[in-house]
């Protein structure tokens, strides 16, 4: 099967480059935005640090599956139209979350509008690869990593870690630090 769209990218790039790109799009901008816009990098959310890292491992797992040989996907799932639909769904998710949450910090805005839609898109397009072409250990690992992420989202929600600036009054302390620098 001739890979196209996201599948072509995963089939063509070295796996280390896929990992580097995922890191550059997900973790690096949050570090820079928090540091430059708020004065200090922080991330209190286990689901964002550990969970999103696990989802990146799933993407790397898919790159390995695609690169080891021919893979099967039904025509509809492999089509550019399916990928475009996945982009639309992922973008809508980000926009709706942005509207519901009204994030005030640039890093949170970036997370809602870029990282969350990217991970959603990858889920919609890459899970079929694992399901149809992965080995049992790859499938089990994927399920465990997604469950880890989901469990951490629940934990972060219950412990109020998702509201990062208010977690242990972090925003108050950051504002105090900024005043000391002035």
* Closest to 133 measured CA to CA, from 82, 79, 70, 90: 70
Tokens of 155: 């934990």
Q: How far apart are CA 120 and CA 176, in angstroms?
A: 36
Report residue 133's pLDDT band, with 50, 70 and 90 as the boundaries.
very high
What is the value of pTM for the model shown?
A: 0.88
* Segment 8-23, tens digit of pLDDT: 899 999 999 999 999 9
Q: How far apart are CA 50 and CA 45, in angstroms?
A: 8
Residues contacting 132, CB < 8 A, separation 6+: 71, 72, 73
């Amino acid at each position: 099967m001739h890979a196209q769209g996201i599948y072509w990218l995963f089939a063509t790039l070295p796996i280390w480059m896929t990992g580097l790109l995922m890191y550059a799009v997900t973790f690096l901008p949050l570090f820079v935005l928090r540091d430059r816009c708020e004065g200090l990098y922080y991330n209190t959310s286990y689901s964002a640090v550990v969970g999103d890292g696990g989802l990146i491992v799933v993407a790397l797992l898919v790159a390995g599956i695609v690169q080891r040989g021919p893979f099967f996907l039904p025509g509809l799932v492999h089509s550019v139209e399916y990928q475009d639909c996945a982009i639309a769904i992922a973008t809508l998710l980000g926009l709706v979350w942005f509207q519901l949450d009204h994030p005030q910090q640039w890093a949170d805005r970036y997370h809602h509008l870029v990282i969350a839609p990217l991970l959603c898109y990858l889920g919609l397009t890459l899970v079929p690869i694992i399901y149809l072409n992965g080995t049992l250990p790859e499938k089990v690992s994927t399920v465990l990593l997604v469950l880890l992420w989901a469990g951490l989202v629940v934990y972060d929600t219950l412990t109020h870690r998702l509201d990062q600036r208010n977690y242990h009054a972090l925003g108050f302390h950051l504002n105090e630090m900024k005043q000391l620098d002035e």
